[in-house]
Structure 1
Amino acid sequence: MLIEDEKVYPDCAVEIRIVDVGGLTKPELIHKLDQHSISLNKYGEQLLNDERFIVSSTKQSLQTVELTVRQLGFSDGATTFQLFRRANDLGLECCPVELGPYLRMQYLDQPEICSTNISEGNKAPSGSITIASEALTEDNEFPKGFYLRRINDKLWLRGYLADDLHIWSPHDRFIFCRSQLFIA
């Protein structure tokens, strides 16, 4: 359901970041994550180590926008396809998959938001921010992308599984790219 009476993007407050991406080989990128004490779950490791995860040798700066599913106009939640289509209609783009590790290393002051619920149903984990990116494969057993989270004061870059029927909660947070600024 599309919200008519609540503020949606671009008429709402959003977090905008400039993220430098690229310029490192995959082993260098993994080493930098380790230097920053970034933890990975098994899906995050699977994504990073997959041959389809391509890193750019060219450094570029991307402007990202962080917003909720609700701020995209979905008060009852939406599928990934619906979110990406709506974001595209609003002038936002999916991020390159490699943005996840770079954003994680640059966003070190992510707040920790704890939840007492062990199972949160179809809601992403509390305090997490999902990077909106095209899946590397349609295989539902392979991670669809990355999300960022701080747990017990430890920074995480985590991969996640979701099928096409998954409904994201109105409070789930996503990062989209606004536009490519320049190549450095």
Structure 2
Amino acid sequence: MQIYPDCDAITRTVVVGGLTKSQLTHRLQQHSILINKYGETLLRDERFTTSETEYSLKTVELSVKDLGFPNGATMPQIFRQASELGLNLCPLELGPYLRLTYFDQPESDKGRDSQEGHAPSGSITIASEIVSADDEFPKGFYLRNIKGELWLRGYIADDLHQWNSYDRFIFGETIIKG
């Protein structure tokens, strides 16, 4: 089993910042991005902030298995291992900005239905700092394409939740000043 950096990783450079929360929300609406109630909760929360200045963030998309967990892992295990591999948590604001640039996300795997308590098939979770220890408050964003409709969704998971080996996460690799 090959783990990061010796595995197939998807890298992207995303321009983040430069918009107010209101402008960012308006931009999501302009692009017909759908948002679930947890995503809306995060966007409205005072702890969701946007950078006044634009910067570029190089990201890395990996599966849980690519981090060295062939049988899955919990969020604390995933975040700890990513840190040991030199990866960083992303700013919470990356979720909306990435959704606004990643329009060609493949549709969900129709052969693998989503099950309650598991990440939906085809979803990509943004590994970001948790803003609330409350298990009922959304932990972050994930991206999904459902029947051609692009979603920015928030999710709830506690520290005991077991992520599957094929679940995909995006981590920050490098901030590029700009």
**TM-score bracket for the superposition, by shorter chain length:** over 0.9
TM-score normalized by the length of structure 2:
0.97
CA distance in 2 between counterparts of 1:114 and 1:11 reads 26
Matched, 1:141 2:136: yes
Give the superposed CA RMSD. 1.1
Q: Which letter maps to 1:84?
A: F
Name the CA distance, whole Å, in 2 between partners of 1:97 and 1:41. Answer: 16
Deviation at 1:134, TM superposition (A): 1.1
Partner in structure 1 of residue 69 of structure 2: 74
What corresponds to 2:99 in structure 1? 104
Which residues in structure 2 correspond to 1:27-42 (within 5 Å)? 27-42=22-37
Unpaired runs of 5+ in structure 1? 1-5
Determine the structure 2 residue equivalent to 1:173: 168
What is the aligned counterpart of 1:58 among 31, 53, 57? 53
SS of aligned partner of 2:24 = helix
Over 3 Å counting, the alpha-carbon distance change for 1:87 and 1:47 in structure 2 is: same
Structure 1 contact 122–167 (Cα < 8 Å) conserved: no
Displacement of 1:152 after TM fit?
1.0
Superimposed CA distance per residue, residues 21-70 of structure 1 (whole angstroms, 9 cap, x where no aligned partner): 00000000000001111000000000000111011101100000000000
What does residue 127 of structure 2 align with? 132
**Cα gap change, 1:30/1:98 in structure 2, threshold over 3 Å: closer, same or farther?**
same
Residue identity matched to 2:60:
V
- Counting only pairs closer than 5 Å after superposition, residues 148-159 of structure 1 correspond to structure 2 as 148-159=143-154
Question: Identity of paired residues, percent?
Answer: 60
TM-score, normalised on structure 1? 0.94
What's the CA shift for 1:121?
5.1
- Return the letter of the residue paired with 1:180: I
